A and B are shown apart, each in its own frame.
Chain A
């Protein structure tokens, strides 16, 4: 990170929190409450955001929404060509997805390949009534026909820029930075 030029903080703690509050309301508005709703966070990053959304939804509606964690490594489309094996995290979805309105949660939406993998994984767990997508950052450059239903911030970026979401749960600080890669 020290070698990167032009580091810019685009979201701080307060902005991230307000964005998540808005997304929580939007999720409830679109789905008309918490009935049949479920959150599934994509490791690692999306799982923490999903947990925060669950808390916010509880604060608003007073009801718990089932929360799952998904590791999409085994569904990646580059798994047989990439040389190094990515670390495999644990998937934990302890409730049935049948007929649920599932909100997938991720930190950054970029090429869309992670979301494609996540949808394939979800469908192996059951038959959700609907899959929606919530992301903190949409940085563009889609390679698949995928769009998010709930977006924290649209962040137009160049391909040679790196967008990094840091969260208290894993990095000790809440911030989103954009930096020129090398």
Chain B
């Protein structure tokens, strides 16, 4: 199968075949990160710009490492050190970057649709590294890759996603991806954090954690976005963690061999208790980070190259 996309904007637009191709390609890239010399010459002479308008450790570092291991030149721009502080608009920033002829622009922005806007404006490939509460496709791809490795498949699994669904681009991308791949997805969170018509996405939604995780093969905890606490969507962190924190007692409702995932950064004791987060027999949180580099290498590989 041939990969013919210019951009990776969301999981919603990818077909099952495209997702499988990306995951298979990423599996081949895993090996490079285990070598002593962690570099291949594939993207020599290509330039990748990481344009981050929101804070990030994992995703930005992961894209930077992915580019460097493929021998691309990677440049990081964060909003706080860019001309955005001088009032430059996103469109003007993009046009100026385009004039410097990069090959790929990776963008994270707090506004949903920002990468899509860029994709229509510039000729370079755009990768969405998270846009508002909309999508975070590379996170969902690395999550699917982790599940596939740990469980041998995705289809037929029961996957529970717990937390602030409304504000989570990770949840949205994963719901698109996992349902496409044939998994049963169930959600749980306070009703203020569950979009009203979320079940139209082909999932079941509960307001109690204990209703969602029975017999789950995968329990995916979402980060409580502390920066949103001032929006009064939940009364207190303590109350939230009493009802929705995953700990050694409620995890027993899930399957014995269930794995625990989290996109990071984790709030220990808020959505996940430290003993679960650090339990290497269940927690695959660091595997997810490891797969992230391979998934991003795969996307850079598939998107770049001879269109001239």
Contact = CB atoms under 8 A, between A and B. Distances in A.
A90 interface: yes
Contacts of A124: 35, 37, 39-40
Interface string A55-96: 000000000000000010011000111111101111110000
Interface residues of A, number: 21
Interface stretch (B41-49, B87-95, B122-130, B271-279): B41-49
Contacts of A120: 41
Nearest to A117: B41
A126 interface: yes
Interface centre among B28, B35, B307 (most CB of A within 10 A): B28
Contact of B41 (A71, A74, A87, A126): A74
B2 A85 contact: yes
Interface of A: 71, 74-75, 79-85, 87-92, 120-121, 124-126
B41 A85 contact: no
A85 B35 CA distance: 23
B41 A125 contact: no
A138 B25 CA distance: 31
A81 B45 CA distance: 12
A75 B41 contact: yes
Nearest to B2: A84
Contacts of B43: 80
Nearest to B34: A94
B36 A80 contact: no
Nearest to A71: B28
Nearest to B38: A124
Question: Range of interface residues on chain B?
Answer: 20 to 34
A75 B40 contact: yes
Interface string B279-308: 000000000000000000010011011111
Nearest to A77: B41
Nearest to A120: B41
Contacts of A84: 2
A85 B28 contact: no
B27 interface: yes
B227 interface: no
Contacts of A90: 27-28, 31
A12 B236 CA distance: 76
B176 interface: no
B52 interface: no
Contact of A89 (B28, B306, B308): B28
Contact of B305 (A71, A75, A85): A85
A84 B21 CA distance: 14
Given A80-B46, A80-B305, A88-B24, 6 more contacts: A80-B44, A80-B306, A83-B307, A85-B301, A88-B298, A125-B35
Nearest to B26: A88
Given A88-B25, A91-B31, A80 B45 contact: yes
B53 interface: no
A84 B302 CA distance: 9
A76 to B, nearest CB: 8
A117 to B, nearest CB: 9
B29 interface: yes
B88 to A, nearest CB: 31
Contacts of B25: 87-88
Contacts of A125: 35-37
In the A-B complex, the 9 residue pairs with the closest CB atoms: A74-B40, A74-B42, A88-B28, A81-B306, A83-B306, A124-B37, A90-B28, A88-B25, A84-B2
A133 to B, nearest CB: 21
Interface in B24-80: 24-25, 27-29, 31-32, 35-37, 39-46, 70
Nearest to A76: B42
Contacts of A75: 40-42
B299 to A, nearest CB: 11
Nearest to A96: B36
21 contacts: A71-B28, A74-B40, A74-B41, A74-B301, A75-B40, A79-B305, A80-B44, A80-B304, A80-B306, A83-B307, A85-B2, A85-B302, A85-B305, A87-B25, A88-B24, A88-B25, A88-B28, A88-B29, A91-B28, A91-B31, A124-B40
